[in-house]
A and B are shown apart, each in its own frame.
Chain A
Amino acid sequence: MTSETTAGRRAHAATDPWGRLNPRLILVNLSVVAAPLALYGATHAVTGGEINLQVLITLGSFLITCLVMAGISLMRLLTTRYLLTDDRIELRKGLLFRSHRSVPVDRIRSVDLTANPLHRVFGLTSLEIGTGEHGESAGAGLSLDGISKKDADELRRQLIERRSAGRGLTVDETDGPIAEMDWAWLRYAPLTIWGVGGVFVAVGTVYRTLYEMKIDPLELGIVKDIEDRFGSVPLWFGILVTVLVIVIIGVIGSTATFIEGWSGYRLEREDGGMFRVRRGMLVTRSVTIEERRLRGVEVAEPLLLRWAGGARLKAVASGLGNDEENSSRSRLTPPVPHALALAVAADVLAEKQSPTALAELAPHPRAALRRRVNLALGTAALTAALLAVPGLWLTPVLVHTGWITGLVLLPILLAYAFDAYRNLGSAIQGRYLVARSGTFARRTVALQREGIIGWSITRSAFQRRAGLLTLGATTAAGTGVYKVRDIAVSDGLALADRAVPQVLAQFIERRPGRG
């Protein structure tokens, strides 16, 4: 390959072939230290020059922490060096604990670029190379924390080029992106349940920070004012307003999260069989997933999003890191219209139609419905009992609250139970094992049959009595196991046997004739 040799020669011709982190990282470090100093200044101004010991200690320790962080970062800047040769990338770092890692280019499974706002001000970015090893800790990959954006893009391009050169994969640049940001999707943004939770987290953080700075938030003028007004209106009105305010802030919060996370979203196919997801407004992220490591897709539909006809698409791929990393790096689309999610799934898997789109997933036996109904009845009864039983001794009000709560909960929980049962389904669709379950967050997973590396069958005491089992297909990709829940024993084993022939068959007994 000509490009390979010229690139190689270029690397050797330079006086120092080793690349380093960008010196602008020093500026980043300085601005980190600036934060506590600015805070000190602000506090000084606000309190009119009277700074008590508590504040001084808080800010002082904050400053020291920042200084230590800056020092570590500076050390990293001075000691980190990397070198890309024809077939491997080498990384040296550390002063006291020196490390030298060398990774063959064809072992690289992912190249991520992440830039936080501070980095972006100085035109820097972080590059992380994933080798997809499961056994090692999260930091197993190679990371270059703070190289210039130009260098990062160039290094990423070269890495992928070399990988594909080694594989003999051709580069096709004519294809457009698979999906691109459409601001009409913003309508799905408020439909994540995290918005409301985020409000409490934010309020808690603000309260805590003010409290630490010796300002009692409950004594502030605004809060006092609100408290007075709350006292002067009827209780139900107060509660209604509070709920409304929380929901509104939640909607704003989740919309903001959506805008921050998905601005500039673009999913495209790249050289050498790679997918690249680019997104983010303040923190820009670029995740590259190798097509060969893609083992399927997951269509996730949280309840509210499902009602609005939306869905999110995730990749089921190996080499995306541990559970936490996997959950953010496997995202292929933001919440989008369901049909679009399926179209993207089909495109990504190079199939005519998304395997998850199959209407005729085989339903699971009625016993699965019975389990869910029993769970609903049990939960309603337990909630009622928890309120009512203490009421027998304390006050009849609790008893009434108990049975009323139970009665109100019952139809809601039963509706969930029926919905959960309706959502259960499984099938084999061409190269894929497809399984669907869940009601609050319905997930439809399509997993490549050749990606299944074992079976894990679980049965609780209830399932054994009901003749059900949960069939877990273990895989190297994604979360490691994908489950077909509450399927009849015989159907589940038949499904597993058809999905991956020759594995389970030797452990299955057949008794002819079921009628």
Chain B
Amino acid sequence: MVRNDELRLRPPRNRVESRAIGWWTLQSSLFALPLPIVFGVLYLFIPPARFVFVWAFFVTLVPGILYMAVMPLWRYRVHRWETTDTAVYAASGWLWQRWRVVPLSRIQTVDTMRGPLQQLFGLSGVTVTSASASGAVKINGLDHRVAAEMVEQLTRSTQATPGDAT
């Protein structure tokens, strides 16, 4: 019987660029490193309070380094995307993972977005919005060319689909 079949969500077909790992690492370093650096500097310049700062340095550094080491690789394994004739399908996240599907007939706008860090790695992001207030589907870490092609293709097929997308 069909109802007894075990169903599973297959991952989207395309991975994001491997350069995205570098981008995520750089991005996470901006969060993770400033605090240990400050404590490190304080350690060097205030010798009497060194016993405090050496602890503060390691307590802030170790989780930061772990985050920088684990998060980007993990994300790279999860982040995937796919467009078909009828829908956009994207997976994202690492500890909390999210799979999103938007039918082409429900798409309202398709934009590309390139932050300064993304540009540094030659990456680009595509944002697909629908009429829902729950937020857009964002596919980050694509190559410029791939992103541009995707936007063009989506724009073409959404224009071809009738309806007011609500």
A residues contacting B by CB (< 8 A) are 134, 318, 322-323, 453-461, 464, 472, 474-476, 479-481, 489-490, 493-494, 497, 502-504, 506-515
Contact = CB atoms under 8 A, between A and B. Distances in A.
B79 to A, nearest CB: 15
Interface in B124-166: 130-135, 137, 165-166
B166 A476 contact: yes
A493 B8 contact: yes
Contact of B8 (A323, A453, A472, A489): A489
A512 B130 contact: no
Given A461-B95, A502-B86, A507-B101, A453 B106 contact: yes
B101 A481 contact: no
B72 to A, nearest CB: 17
Give the one of B10, B82, B99, B135 with max A CB within 10 A: B99
A453 B102 contact: yes
Closest 4 CB pairs of A and B: A480-B133, A480-B134, A476-B131, A481-B134
Contacts of B102: 453-454, 474
A461 B96 CA distance: 6
B89 interface: yes
A489 B131 CA distance: 27
Given A318-B131, A453-B130, A458-B96, 12 more contacts: A134-B131, A322-B133, A456-B100, A457-B100, A459-B97, A464-B97, A480-B132, A490-B8, A503-B87, A506-B84, A508-B9, A511-B5
B103 interface: yes
Given A481-B134, A489-B7, A514-B5, A457 B103 contact: no
A453 B133 contact: no
B46 to A, nearest CB: 28
Contacts of B165: 453, 476
Contacts of B130: 453-454, 474, 476
A326 B98 CA distance: 26
A494 B9 CA distance: 11
Contacts of B106: 453-454
A513 B132 contact: no
A388 to B, nearest CB: 24
Nearest to A455: B101
A215 to B, nearest CB: 46
